[in-house]
Structure 1
């Protein structure tokens, strides 16, 4: 059975390259469109299974076209965007509108090195063929407006899914721990459902490895910081892991947990090519196991292709830590969480909209059996 793929780009050279890249697959039937209006006409006629969509185009740009697709002809869309800050901002807007994933052009609008990404493009299109489309869920932060900043620059816990029951002093006295989140395809939208639901005084630091290019992660961290009660930032130099903060690993690198002067820190380090994806979830979790008692770790495996982090999180589970696998019902791509479940490494299997509440319960000292959605792995 042939899968119909529609490539939309205003550059004839890019259309040619993208078509050749996809036609390496015997089961892909590839068509092209020169702009957004042409794309909408062809979607009506061809009914493609997946659309790859450029952002910067004349006549009708990619974001406008995407909004029409999601409203009139919902189907998986992979954005093809420039590897720039402007391209990152537009890409996150596209993901919010409903795009499944994105492919960054290495050299800007017309990229002569795009063919270097053939395997990645094919993998993303295949993931899009399997991806589920689900409506955007409004968090309380979105429904009620952005959280107000209070003394010290922290946001009020207005967007929390539940009131906290421990004082900051009690939390400060607790033994060090950390929440580790691994995520790939479909991750930005999923993280934007989970992190804004954590209170500003969440008692554990949060460290996120989201597979993403380096020029995108700072923009993504800034975007999350505007939405969350937690302070959110990209990991730069040695970064103390403190409660009430969420740190996004820098793209095109790895992040590891270490200790400096007795304190837990996150370090951005060169990507280790022994690992397939970056920032590597597997490397992040294994480094945390070297420096934090397993019972003080909470590891979360969210939507994504492949198995990055599954073995390390299963090890956390075996050694007494707590783990969550996102359930199939909400995972855009059920690859990474499924691997964790099949390894018997999930303390709980939960839809995305229940994960923040579970994290709060565990962080406040409840056992996995007491937490919502007890282990079903």
Structure 2
């Protein structure tokens, strides 16, 4: 305690410090995991673990009692699983960001994408299964994402997305399936590259299903995501996409009406002398794959007038510089508007640098892509 400060004032200062901390609710059925998460989160002076819940039902009650700022949520729990619990919580408290703590299994990945589509802010992958004794490996990532969720979550958009999460109706789904057998042009007219990060899985589900089955362009999606998740995510997008869509592999050939997801852990590039895709371990960037690297590769291969660049929700500025180059070379560039971006980082950077010709909410991006592709 500083000399000269009365005990009463010292208590007041301590209370004010605690009030300014980010209150976290930890939800996990494993006592070991709850303890490990608590100890890890408490190492950061800006965070405070307000409480812990042992299952989904307990989490619902603890939210009412503690009113946390951020929730970390396990998925596989008895009594009530994390996915169900999250839906109850967000229905009443849509302003509270939920970070999913997920296993790296295929089933864990699929459930994680469902959680993201239903309103979760982001996820962190457990390094070794359901109970991770080496959770410290992702400790810094958990702390950073808690802070990002509290500071940067577009709460208005979280509320809107949660309320309209079933907007992809059965009628639209039937329309997509009916058109999926349309004749596709084996030629390549243009290339659309969509870059996205935090909040991306949910945002992409507002765009991909609304594209045309006869799109006169190839589609490349670059989503910042761990390697173990991109295969499952590509399959999920493929079910919603009106044309064939897959995780990109070296040697895949770009063509109109074909879609590809950049695999995690690699850079996705295009051969300069053709349409074939290739994977590379370089250049090394903070995110692998990098939106900038893929967009610039496509720009060099096909020229600006044949490229449509799109940047959506995400932290940082990956893709912003490439958007500037695409626009300067005569291509069309589209950025997601702040009104729908869960994290208005990447699109903001593109807009501020002059790389965004068109700025629209997420639900209008598909129409703008189709319009840009059809430009002569």
Q: TM-score, normalised by structure 2?
A: 0.87
Contact 1:147–1:227 (Cα < 8 Å) also in 2: no
1:362 maps to what in 2? 372
How much does 1:149 deviate? 5.3
Cα gap change, 1:77/1:249 in structure 2, threshold over 3 Å: closer, same or farther?
same
Q: Any stretches of 5+ residues in structure 1 without a counterpart?
A: 158-166, 367-377
2:352 maps to what in 1? 342
Q: RMSD value over aligned CA atoms?
A: 2.1
1:13 maps to what in 2? 32
d(CA) in 2 for partners of 1:144, 1:295:
31
1:32 maps to what in 2? 52
d(CA) in 2 for partners of 1:56, 1:195:
29
Pair 1:101 & 2:114 matched: no
Cα gap change, 1:43/1:140 in structure 2, threshold over 3 Å: closer, same or farther?
closer
How much does 1:257 deviate? 1.7
Cα gap change, 1:131/1:266 in structure 2, threshold over 3 Å: closer, same or farther?
same
Q: Give the 3-state SS of the residue equivalent to 2:205 in structure 1.
A: helix
Cα gap change, 1:146/1:122 in structure 2, threshold over 3 Å: closer, same or farther?
farther
Q: TM-score, normalised by structure 1?
A: 0.87
Q: Give the 3-state SS of the residue equivalent to 1:240 in structure 2.
A: coil
Cα gap change, 1:140/1:331 in structure 2, threshold over 3 Å: closer, same or farther?
same
Contact 1:325–1:346 (Cα < 8 Å) also in 2: yes
Contact 2:127–2:137 (Cα < 8 Å) also in 1: no
Q: Which of the numbers 166, 172, 178 marks the counterpart of 1:144? A: 172
How much does 1:359 deviate? 0.8
Number of residues of Structure 1 aligned to a counterpart in Structure 2: 348
Contact 1:148–1:156 (Cα < 8 Å) also in 2: no
How much does 1:266 deviate? 2.0
Contact 2:118–2:165 (Cα < 8 Å) also in 1: no
1:253 maps to what in 2? 266
d(CA) in 1 for partners of 2:29, 2:336:
38
2:4 maps to what in 1? none
d(CA) in 1 for partners of 2:341, 2:153:
8
Deviations for 1:54-106, whole angstroms, at most 9, x for unmatched residues? 01112221112112112233221010000010101111111122111111111
Contact 2:103–2:109 (Cα < 8 Å) also in 1: yes
Contact 2:184–2:257 (Cα < 8 Å) also in 1: no
Contact 1:271–1:279 (Cα < 8 Å) also in 2: no
Q: Give the 3-state SS of the residue equivalent to 1:24 in structure 2.
A: coil
d(CA) in 1 for partners of 2:23, 2:62:
11
Which residues in structure 2 correspond to 1:22-171 (within 5 Å)? 22-30=41-49, 31-74=51-94, 75-129=96-150, 130-132=152-154, 133=158, 134-135=160-161, 136=164, 142-147=170-175, 155=180
